[in-house]
Structure 1
Amino acid sequence: MSAAQTQLQAARDADAADYAPVDLTFAQNKFQQAQAAMTSRKYADAADLATEAQADAELATAKARLGDVRARIQTKTDENARLREAMEQAHPELSSRSQMPATLPAAAPTGDMPAPSASVLSAPMPGGDGGFQTVPQPATSTSAGNAQEGQP
């Protein structure tokens, strides 16, 4: 019960009421049910409900932290856009020479790879079989069959 109560407080401290109100409500309701089960001396039910309350509170805490980080990222992105716009207005000659991307590219650009030269493609493979490897055929002699069965 104390672990669930501690996790509930951590969720409240992380502003789960703003960022994850549904999960926080679930956790609080489960905790209240766990307390009622303890009062009714249903200790197994109380333990299960307290565990569920703790899990819901952990989820609410994680969602609250994620929401907070996303809000901070959005604030920084907005501030960068405002600064970029102010810079372009103050120095229009800079914006025409080099364009700064508003966001980072998702992946490095990939260009077409040049094909290898024809001499590389047509060179024969070592071994003289035209580049093909052959698979060894199983032995068909009777001595090989007798050796496999353990007979001389």
Structure 2
Amino acid sequence: MTMAQIQLQAARDADAADYAPVDLGFAQNKFQQAQAAMASRKYADAADLADEAQADAELALTKARLGAARARIHAKVDENRRLRERMEQAHPELSRARVSMPTTLPPAAPVGDMPAPASSVLAAPPPGDGGFQTVPQGGAAPADRHQGEQP
């Protein structure tokens, strides 16, 4: 219960109410249920609910940190754009020589949604004799080998 309470407080301190309100709400609800189970002397249920509350609070904390980092990045991008515009106004000759740079960030992909590489990107197996032996098409082992014997 104490660990869940600490994790909940850490999520609140990281502004999870702004960046991950649903996850923070789940964590708070589970913690309240755990407290009710403790009061009813259902200790196993209370422990399970406290674990769930801690996990939900940890998720809310992580999402809050990610949201805050993204907000800082977007603020820096906006600041850079404003500075670039001021520089171009003050020194128009620099704007012609400037390399084109994006003024906004592309939308961020959800965390954990990285696709696997296409099969054409994967390396081909090493050629020649030094490597693994392949099993013939029928799946049968060569006739000169006995069952259980290593190649």
TM-score bucket of the superposed structures, by smaller chain: 0.5 to 0.7
Q: Which amino acid aligns with 2:16?
A: A
Give the whole-Å Cα distance in 1 for the aligned partners of 2:97 and 2:22: 50
For residue 99 of structure 2, what is the aligned residue in structure 1? 99
Q: How does 1:139-150 map to 2 (within 5 A)?
A: none
Give the whole-Å Cα distance in 2 for the aligned partners of 1:11 and 1:19: 10
Task: Measure how far apart 1:4 and its partner are.
Answer: 0.2
Q: Which amino acid aligns with 1:3?
A: M
Q: Name the TM-score, length of structure 2 as normaliser.
A: 0.67
Structure 2: which 5+ residue stretches go unaligned?
A: 107-127, 129-143, 146-151
- What is the DSSP-based 3-state SS (H/G/I as helix, E as strand, rest coil) of the residue aligned with 1:78? helix
> Which consecutive segments of 4 or more residues in structure 1 shift more than 4 A?
none
Give the whole-Å Cα distance in 2 for the aligned partners of 1:100 and 1:91: 16
Q: Alpha-carbon deviations, 1:55-99, whole Å to 9, x = none?
A: 000000000000000000000000000000111111111111232
For residue 16 of structure 1, what is the aligned residue in structure 2? 16
Q: Alpha-carbon deviations, 1:23-54, whole Å to 9, x = none?
A: 00000000000000000000000000000000
Q: How does 1:82-121 map to 2 (within 5 A)?
A: 82-102=82-102
For residue 33 of structure 2, what is the aligned residue in structure 1? 33
Q: How does 1:62-77 map to 2 (within 5 A)?
A: 62-77=62-77
Q: Which amino acid aligns with 1:64?
A: A
Computing the radius of gyration from Cα coordinates, the structure with the larger value is 1
Give the whole-Å Cα distance in 2 for the aligned partners of 1:38 and 1:6: 17
Aligned-residue sequence identity (percent) comes to 75
Q: Alpha-carbon deviations, 1:100-141, whole Å to 9, x = none?
A: 41269x9xxxxxxxxxxxxxxxxxxxxxxxxxx8xxxxxxxx
RMSD after superposition: 2.2
Give the whole-Å Cα distance in 2 for the aligned partners of 1:103 and 1:93: 20
Give the whole-Å Cα distance in 1 for the aligned partners of 2:20 and 2:53: 14
Aligned residues: 109
